[in-house]
Structure 1
Amino acid sequence: MQVTLENSAIIALILLTGLSAGLCFTWSNSITPGIARLDDAGFLTSFQQMNRAILNPIFFIVFFGPFFLGLINLYLFRNTSSTLIWLLLLAIGVYFLGVVLVTIFGNVPLNDLLDGTDLTKSSTEDLKSLRELFEVKWNRLHLARTLTSFISFLLLILSLMQSLKSNI
C-alpha cells in the first residue's frame, strides 16, 4: 500500500471511528451494566460524575472527528469509484444520524437533566423517579449509538478495501 494523503486520511477516519465504536461498546458492555447494580443514589451519582468527566478535548476529537474527517475523505476520494463514494457516504451518514444526532438530541438532554439535579438534596423517592426516567431511555439511545458506530466502522473497513482495490 502506497502512503498517500487519501490512504492516510481514510486510515485516520477508521481509527477515530473505531475508537468511538470502542467507547460505545465499553459503556454498553461493562460500564452501564456495572453501575446498574448500584442503588439509585450510587447509580445517579456515578453517572453524573462520568458524564462530567467525559467532556474533555480527547473525547470531542474522537466523537466529532469521524464526521468531519469523513467529509474530508469524501472530498479526497471524489474522483474514485462510485462504490467507494457510496460506502463513505453511508458510513458517514450512519455515524452522523446514529451517533452524533442521537447523542445531541437524545443522550445529552438526559445528561443535562441529571447534571442539573442536586442529588444530595433529593429524597429517596425523587432519586428513584429520576433513575426510572433516565436509565432505560439513556441505555436504549446508547444501544443505537453502539450499533451505528459499529456499522459505520465496518463500512469504513469496506471502504478501505475498495480504495485499495481501486489502487491496484
Structure 2
Amino acid sequence: MEVTIQNLLLTTLIALTGLSAGLCFTWSNAITPGIGRLDNIGFLQAFQKMNRAIINPLFLIVFFGPFLLNLINLCFFKGATNIMWLLIAATAVYFFGVLLITIFGNVPLNEILDKTDLGAASIEELKQLRDKFEDKWNRLHLIRTVASTISFLLLIITALIKN
C-alpha cells in the first residue's frame, strides 16, 4: 500500500476503531462479568473507580477519534462511491451505536453512580442502586460492543476494496 495521507488516515481510523471495539469487547467479555460476581458494595465501588479512571486523554482519543477521523476520511474519498458508502455506514453505526448510546445511556447511569456516597448508603440502597444500574448499563454496553465491531469490520472491508 502506497504511503499517502489518505492511506494514513484510513489506517489510523481502522486502528482507533479497532481499539474502541477491543475496549468494548474486553468490558463485555471480562470486566463486567468479573465484577458482576462481587457483592453490591464491591461491584458499585469497583465500577465507580473504573469509571473515574477511564476518563483520561488516551481514552478520549480512542473513543472520539473514530468518529472524527471518519468525518475527515469522508472528505478524502469523495467520488469513490463504494468506499464512500462504507465510510458513511461505518460513521453512522459508530455515531448512533457508540457515541449516542454512551452519551445518552451509559454516561447518565455513570453519573448517578458517581454522585452516590456508597459509604453512607444502606444495604438496601446499595441493592436498589445496583438493580437500577447493572442490567441497563450492560444492555447499553452490548449495543456499543456490537456497533463498534460492525464499524471496525466495515472499515476493514473499505481498506480491502480500496486496495
Match of 1:12 in 2: 12
TM-score when normalising by structure 1:
0.96
- The percent identity for this pair of structures is 63
Please list, as runs of the form range in 1=range in 2, the aligned pairs for 1:1-168 lying within 5 A after superposition: 1-80=1-80, 82-164=81-163
Please state whether the residue corresponding to 2:116 is helix, strand or coil.
Answer: coil
Segments of structure 2 that go 5 or more residues without pairing to the other structure are none
Return structure 1 stretches of 4+ with deviation > 4 angstroms: none
Partner deviation per Cα, 1:54-88 (whole Å, 9 max, x = no partner): 000000000000000000000011132x1110000
1:116 Cα deviation after fit: 0.4
Which secondary structure does the structure 1 equivalent of 2:38 belong to? Answer: coil
Encode CA deviations 1:29-77: one digit per residue, 9 max, x unaligned: 0000000000000000000000000000000000000000000000011
Displacement of 1:163 in angstroms is 1.2
Deviation at 1:162, TM superposition (A): 1.4
Cα separation, 2, equivalents of 1:2 and 1:20? 26
Give the superposed CA RMSD: 0.5
Within 2, Cα distance between the matches of 1:78 and 1:11? Answer: 17
Q: 1:53 & 1:114 partners in 2: Cα distance?
A: 14
- Tell me how far 1:155 sits from its aligned partner: 0.2
Give a deviation string over 1:130-167, Cα, whole Å, max 9, x none.
00000000000000000000000000000111111xxx
Structure 1 stretches lacking a partner, 5+ long: none
SS in 1 for 2:78: coil
**Aligned length in residues:** 163
What TM-score does the superposition give when structure 2 sets the normalisation length?
Answer: 0.99
Amino acid at match of 1:115: D
